[in-house]
Amino acid sequence: EVQLVQSGAEMKKPGESLKISCQGSGYIFTSYWIGWVRQMPEKGLEWMGVIYPGDSDTRYSPSFQGQVTISADKSISTAYLQWSSLKASDTAMYYCARRVYDSSAYFLDYWGQGTLVTVSS
């Protein structure tokens, strides 16, 4: 069974750093891209970026380039999303999802349960 399990909720202060994780199981982790999606309070879904754990090829949405870092450790089937200096506006739910290419289509077929990040002084 394919699963993406994310790390637990975080409460941080502005200026602090943070790294959240997404561990995949039940499939060949290095063969599928993993994407990150943000949902700010009462807002819609926003695409942040994606990584291919096989070779760590990473693509960022222009809105998030330079704001976050996406990485992966294929030895433990885990993708990461990290911030070097959090802002209050980073308060959101963050989801990871597996991106699939099948039948000439791209889509996100499995999602993590989400990690709530709260940034407040």
Partner 1 sequence: EIVLTQSPGTLSLSPGERATLACRASQSVSSSYLAWYQHKPGQAPRLLIYGASSRATGIPDRFSGSGSGTDFTLTISRLEPEDFAVYYCQHYGGSQTFGGGTKVETK
Residues binding partner 1 (CB under 8 A)? 35, 37, 44-47, 50, 61-63, 95, 97, 102-109, 111-114
CB atoms within 10 A of CB 51: 24
Name the residue nearer to partner 1 (CB basis): 62 or 66: 62
3-state secondary structure of 73: strand
Of 15 and 26, which has the nearer Cβ to partner 1? 26
The token pair at 7 is 């790390």
CA distance 86 to 11: 11
Smallest distance, partner 1 to C-beta of residue 17, A: 26
Strands 92-102 and 78-83, by their bridges, are: unpaired
Q: Which is nearer to partner 1, 11 or 45 (CB)?
A: 45
Nearer to partner 1, 40 or 85 (CB): 40
CB of 7 to partner 1, least distance (A): 15
Least Cβ distance, residue 54 to partner 1 (angstroms): 19
Q: Are 41 and 51 a contacting pair, CB within 8 Å? A: no
**In the complex, least distance from residue 105 CB atom to partner 1, rounded to whole angstroms:** 4
Which residues, in sequence order, are CB contacts of 87 under 8 Å at separation 6+?
Answer: 14, 119
